[in-house]
Amino acid sequence: MTLPINQIVQHPRFGSGSVILDQGKTIVIRFEHGIEECERQILTIKQTLEEKIVQGQWDEPRQTVARILAAAIISINDNWGLFSLSRIQLLPHQLWVCHRVMRIWPANYLIADDVGLGKTIEAGLILWPLISKGLVKRVLILCPASLAEQWQYRLKEMFDLRFTRYVAEADTPRADYWNTHSQVIASLPTLRLDKRGRHQRMFEAEPWDLLIVDEAHHLNAEQNTGATLGYRFIHELIEKGQFKSRVFFSGTPHRGKNYSFIALLGLLRPEKFNPQRPLIEQLPHLRDVLIRNNKQTVTDMHGNLLFKPVKVYPETYAYSSAEASFYSQLTQFILSGKAYAGSLDSAQKRQNVVLVLIAMQKLASSSVAAIRRALQRRLRKLQKIVADKAAEETEESLFTELDAAETDSDALLQDILQRLEENIAESTLVVVKNEIPHLQELVQFAEAVKEETKIQKILELIEEQFPNRQVLFFTEYKATQALLMSALLKKYGDDCVTFINGDERLEDIYTANNDKTTLTIKRTHAADIFNEGKVRFLISTEAGGEGIDLQKNCYSLIHIDLPWNPMRLHQRVGRLNRYGQQHPVEVITLRNPETIESQIWDKLNSKLNNIMFTLREVMDEPEDLLQLILGMTSNSFFTELFSGSQELKKDSVSDWFNEKTKTFGGEEAVSAVKTLVGHSSRFNLSDLSQIPKKDLPDLKPFFQTMLQLNKRRVSESDESIAFVTPEPWLTDPGVRRRYENLKFDRTQAEHQTSNIIGVGHRAFNQALKQAVDYDASIARANLDEPIFIFRVYDKVTEAVGNIRQVIIGVKLSKQTKEVSQVLLDWELLDIFNEILSNLTQEKSSRYKLDSELFSCLQSNALLFVRNYIEKINLPFKVADVSLMSIVWCRHEIEV
């Protein structure tokens, strides 16, 4: 017998499918995953809905409902990722990003969400379904070196995704590293260097299904100077077809230059973006590749804004007479140094002298302790030198390293930049004629400062404004870090404080008993004990400014010093003002109003307020957009602004500042921000209604029903379940024979990911697979009107995507024979979860439908759904519809 088209058959491996063509010994069948040609003899023919209607054959109700629920769960999760195994409560904007990126696969997107909105969660939401379904097997994640461990840890903890961290020593020609490791996290600064033939091995390896790049703005190409090593490296891999999909993350994707911005987008969609073409021609394509969400508009599932405005309290203090004398002497020393630099005949020497002086200024703006240590070390070195040119030549490399570090945020995250500044301040490059006696005098003034008023002011502020609270402190330099830590230990005891810095080591600390000591601690451990409330204070350098969450119990921050780039202030605050913060973050800044530096800050803040006002006139979220403008501004601009003001008289500061900043935040910058934000895709409140308000608890009725259908008893205790695994599920070797303490709840932090059950859990996946393969398709339930459930799918099977099908239901009136209500997949989940509680087993032969009525209703429902799917945005090239199930009204059955 020739099988007709659309005949439903069962395959022992692929499950249910519909016949496309009977070729005798083999039959071409469409399954959910695609089209297969199968042997006839291994197929089981399933009864069609029409045959069941004619014969009056009703299926077991629970099996029918379980099959519908399984299809609805898969449909919801494929579209939104709502039921993924994440330990963290998922937010609408994260689900929206996942939905947007995965609708069509392969995908190429730049996700430019504001800092603190959960890029690792978004990455995990994208990765989890793709990896669990086998759609993606080879994944390469590139990030700054200091964030590699954090990426690895978070993906494991939040999604149970286990990536290997790249180790250069393991990548040898004999090891075949790039073919034997399929899910890798690596440092972009490491991989961009072609050492020991590494690049050639990567070019020859199997292609990657997905490339993820964090801090993607480092893939930079300038119009005049060309592309960075990282950009060229990624570009060559793309040219050789090594990545099927690419997802980039960057909080500051537009650094003020349209050429570089378009060049970055060209790595994602080279057919649409070319920096050689006018920007205006390419703007219409931005929404196809660029996503940006910001803190001021993201909400929870109920539409409540998640982030509260940051409260900043500027505080002032005055120098003691000893401090004032020291800073006066230092100013004279720096002015003498600048004059000396101007007398040198070599431009390079002049520049290097200025860099030494700038380093001194930066250290002095942090604390007397920071500059004193540098001056003392500098003096000792100069006193030992006896016309030794080798020393000067050796130190020449410091200036080259500083130049490189100033443009590398990875260096900032490891305190490399600050360490270089300290080394340069301590260098032996002469900056003043007959320097040693001047330096000796300056050191004497520094050593006369026995107590720093800034530190005393901080201790007062803790008691007055942050009593009984945890407090996070930020500073640029380790000497200042040790100074404050000693003061806190003396006042609050030896267990009150910990620290984070790039070396994970801190010297010159004085304990409560005034014993000098050196401490070491891993920055992740320091963060953990602070988050757990085991210490009250944490003092961090810039190494804690990225990749570490500190918002669990803390919402109070004090800037011990102010970095010359305001963007760094936002990055510091971002450690607390991020998802999970329950309070408005309160920030204290400290300045001495008598200093020139303080005057520059006043004027800079005024300028920033004016920029925010300008942005407010053209678009929303001026605070977030201001950060974009700061991200577009080079570090050297702010360095010149603060360092160049030291020699000015107070009455000339305003004119000098206005001249220096006349283009900062001007029309070009505002235009770039408008381009970026005005042409990007982003989540907003209107999108909230599209996201199903569902989570893991909505899966519990289905799963418990599947256990009951397999004759397994469910033990419940404290909202957890335990059961002996049904035999049919044990075909997956990853499924255990018994489970304890499984919870449909991701909200409790103490849960291990392995104890959370949802889509992706091996046992739950087996339940879905079994339910989808049930033959049951028609049943009765307590309904006012019958429901017809349809499967919408793509007839084109060449496209590989995460969304394989969409489930849609319709209610029909038997009086009018027309559709009375459309039911989306999440609405079907609600309806049939409720129906499950009232279902009873019954004999299937007592009831028979009027076949003419059924045929009319089916025809009307099918026509309605076909018209309906043309009006909604589905990710299918050629959408088609098939009737999957019918649930009829119990009280109106024709006998």
Shared domain check, 851 and 861: yes
- d(Cα 600, Cα 591) in Å, to the nearest integer? 11
**Strand order across the beta sheet in which 108-111 lies:** 164-165, 183-187, 139-143, 208-213, 243-249, 108-111, 290-291
How high is the pLDDT of residue 619?
55
Going from the C-alpha of 212 to that of each of 120, 139, 156, 183, 318, the distances in angstroms are: 11, 8, 16, 11, 49
Closest by Cα among 158, 289, 299 to 216: 289
Residue range of the domain that includes 632 = 311-315+448-686
Q: Within this chain, do residues 891 and 794 fall inside the same structural domain, yes or no?
A: yes
Q: Is the dihedral of CA 387, 389, 390, 395 positive or negative?
A: positive
857 occurs within a structural domain: yes
Q: What is the CATH number of the domain that holds 663?
A: 3.40.50.300
Residues 753 and 816 in one domain: yes
| Number of domains, the chain | 5
**Six token digits for residue 686:** 């209107």
39 and 58 belong to one structural domain: no
Same domain membership, residue 337 and residue 276: no
Task: Confirm whether 151 is domain-assigned.
Answer: yes
Residue carrying structure tokens 């007479």: 321
Which residue, of 686, 719, 748, is where some domain finishes? 686
Give the model's pLDDT for residue 390.
46
Residues 894 and 848 in one domain: yes
Co-location of 744 and 873 in the same domain: yes
Q: Let me know whether 255 and 108 are in one domain.
A: yes
C-beta separation of 213 from 248 below 8 A:
yes
Q: Give yes or no: residues 118 and 241 share one domain.
A: yes
**Predicted local distance difference test score (pLDDT) of residue 211:** 97
Q: Do 744 and 730 contact (CB within 8 A), yes or no?
A: no
Cβ–Cβ under 8 Å, residues 849 and 856: no
484 domain-assigned: yes
Domain-terminating residue out of 427, 456, 472: 427
Nearest in space to 742 (alpha carbons), one of 756, 762, 761 = 756
Q: Would 710 be classed as within a structural domain?
A: no
Asked which of 671, 686, 701 is the last residue of a domain, the reply is 686
Model confidence pLDDT, tens digit, residues 385-416: 754 554 454 466 677 666 666 655 555 556 77
Residue 283 and residue 144 in contact, taking contact as beta carbons nearer than 8 Å: no
In this prediction, the residues of the chain whose per-residue pLDDT falls under 50 are: 387, 390-391, 393-394, 749-751, 843-845, 893-895
User: Is residue 215 in a domain?
Assistant: yes
Closest CA to 482 of 461, 462, 452: 452
- Tell me what pLDDT residue 749 has: 44
Residue type, 865: V
The whole-number pLDDT of residue 700 equals 95
Is position 438 within any domain?
no
Q: Give the residue among 268, 308, 292 at the shortest CA–CA distance from 119.
A: 292
Q: Assess whether 792 and 679 both reside in one domain.
A: no
Reported in sequence order, the residue ranges of 462-564 that DSSP labels E, i.e. its strands, are 471-474, 497-500, 505-510, 516-520, 537-540, 556-559
**Pairwise CA distance, residues 478 & 500, whole Å:** 10
The pLDDT tens digits for 518-550 are: 999 998 899 999 999 999 999 999 887 676 789
Residues 396 and 460 in one domain: no
- In this structure, is residue 701 part of a structural domain? no
Instruction: Find, among 346, 361, 355, 437, the residue nearest to 395 by Cα.
Output: 355
Q: What angle do CA 567, 570, 573 make, to 5 degrees?
A: 155
Sign of dihedral through CA atoms 130, 136, 142, 145?
positive
CATH number of domain containing 233? 3.40.50.10810
User: CA–CA separation, 371 vs 361, rounded Å?
Assistant: 8
Give a yes or no: residue 717 inside a domain: no
Question: pLDDT tens across 125-145, in order?
Answer: 999 888 888 889 999 999 988
Q: How many CB atoms lie within 10 A of CB 576?
A: 23
Q: What is the CATH number of the domain that holds 36?
A: 2.30.30.140
Question: Do 106 and 223 share a domain, yes or no?
Answer: yes
